[in-house]
Amino acid sequence: MRHIINLEVENHSGVLARIAGLFSARGFNIESLSVAHAEKEDVSRMTLAVRGDDAIIEQINKQLNKLIDVIRVIDITANYYVDRELVLVRVNCPPNKRGDIQQVNEIFGAKVVDISNKSMTMEMVGSEAKVDAFMETMRPFGIQEVARTGPIAMLREFKKKY
């Protein structure tokens, strides 16, 4: 099963290499990883999307915890959380298709960020499922290029199922 793990790590150089090294050395599958400064200067937050059975996920959590530079490991999968991905997608778009594509964009709340006589490029933010749905809907137009971040995620404060 796929798990989303949030990490707070020391904001040193080399921490990313430690995490990446751990995954490659132990043969763990990592689907995506995003890193940026957190609210504190000296702390970075990473969101990892990983896949594995329960035993592997348990090892991943423990091994991450064991790294000296890792401050906190929270596997948020079992909790209520919000997750978002950003996707940039360029699709074939002759002028006569602009209206059709714009319709889809409106439904998904996507924004046009670039346009030419042959293509249109959108940015779209949403949960993984929503991004997937958006991509599926764009597919018939002919996707030229995609850049996708993978999820970043945060626990909800208000712990109720949505």
User: What is the contact surface with another protein in residues (CB under 8 A)?
Assistant: 9-10, 14, 17-18, 21, 25, 55, 58-59, 62-63, 65-66, 68-71
Per-residue H/E/C for the chain: CEEEEEEEEECCCCHHHHHHHHHHHHCCEEEEEEEEECCCCCEEEEEEEEECCHHHHHHHHHHHHHCCCEEEEEECCCCCEEEEEEEEEEEECCHHHHHHHHHHHHHHCCEEEEECCCEEEEEEEECHHHHHHHHHHHHHHCEEEEEECCCEEEECCCCCCC
Closest CB to another protein among residues 58, 145: 58
**Closer CB to another protein, residue 33 or residue 57?**
57
Q: Whose Cβ is closer to another protein: residue 68's or residue 78's? A: 68
We find the least distance from the C-beta atom of residue 66 to another protein, in angstroms, to be: 5
Separation between Cα atoms, residue 92 and residue 88, nearest integer Å: 14
Measured from the CB atom, the residue of 17 and 78 that comes closer to another protein is 17
- Number of residues that this document lists for the chain: 162
Cβ of residue 45: shortest distance to another protein, in angstroms? 14
Provide the minimum distance between the beta carbon of 18 and another protein in the complex, in angstroms, as a whole number.
6
Considering beta carbons, is residue 63 or 149 the nearer one to another protein? 63
Q: How far is the CB of 36 from another protein (least distance, A)?
A: 18
In the bound complex, what is the minimum distance in angstroms from residue 155's beta carbon to another protein?
A: 20
